[in-house]
Amino acid sequence: MTETWKEFEANEVTHSVAHHLVAIHEVGREYGGWARVSDIARWLGITRGSVSINLRNIKVRGLVIEDDHRQVKLSEQGLKIAQAIMAKKAAVKAFLRDVINVPEEQAEIDSCKVEHLISQSTGENLFRFIKFLTSDDPAARQALSQFRKFEDS
């Protein structure tokens, strides 16, 4: 039981980096993917200085590229990571909210904490599970409605 817990630090990206990537993706959405430091900072709710410094690492690691006007954009690799994270977050949030009845806001908070931590394969399993459970397979529908009753009792 000595080493597994350290896997926490052994992620592709930290929570902070994950959110910088997602922020760039969202902020740059309407500008061909290009985002400015200020907008990223505003989106994340941290200072421009922090973003500036954090982007140094993120650039060095090849997750974003920069143009002449100091705008940044996700690299191919950065985009892949951001998309994977967003997909996992969506899966977790959907599970919490639509399956086990966690209130919207709490589902948002919890899925956000966890998005960059769960493994790709676990994310995929979860996705399939939700897909099944929210399908119109009668067994799925029946189980869900039973669970709702179970909850209320």
Residues that bind DNA (CB under 7 A): 9, 14-17, 36-39, 45-57, 69-71
Run of H or E residues at 26: helix 15-27
Return the one option of DNA, a second copy, none that residue 137 interacts with (CB less than 5 to 8 A, by type): a second copy
By CB under 8 A, is residue 45 in contact with a second copy?
yes
Distance CA 118, CA 130 (A): 16
Place of tokens 């397979």: 137
Least separation in angstroms between CB 67 and DNA:
11
Residue 87 contacts which entry, a second copy, DNA, none (Cβ below 5-8 A, type-dependent) = none
Q: How many CB atoms lie within 10 A of CB 87?
A: 15
Q: Cα separation of 90 and 86, whole Å?
A: 6
Tokens representing 12?
């592709």
Name which of 68 and 151 has its Cβ closer to a second copy.
Answer: 151
- State the sign of the Cα–Cα–Cα–Cα dihedral 129, 132, 133, 135: positive
Site for a second copy in 96-135 (CB under 8 A): 96, 99-102, 106-110, 112-114, 117-119, 121-122, 125-126, 128-129, 132-133
Instruction: Give the three-state DSSP class for 13.
Output: coil
Binding site residues, a second copy, CB under 8 A: 1-8, 11, 15, 19, 26, 42-45, 96, 99-102, 106-110, 112-114, 117-119, 121-122, 125-126, 128-129, 132-133, 137, 139-140, 142-147, 150-151
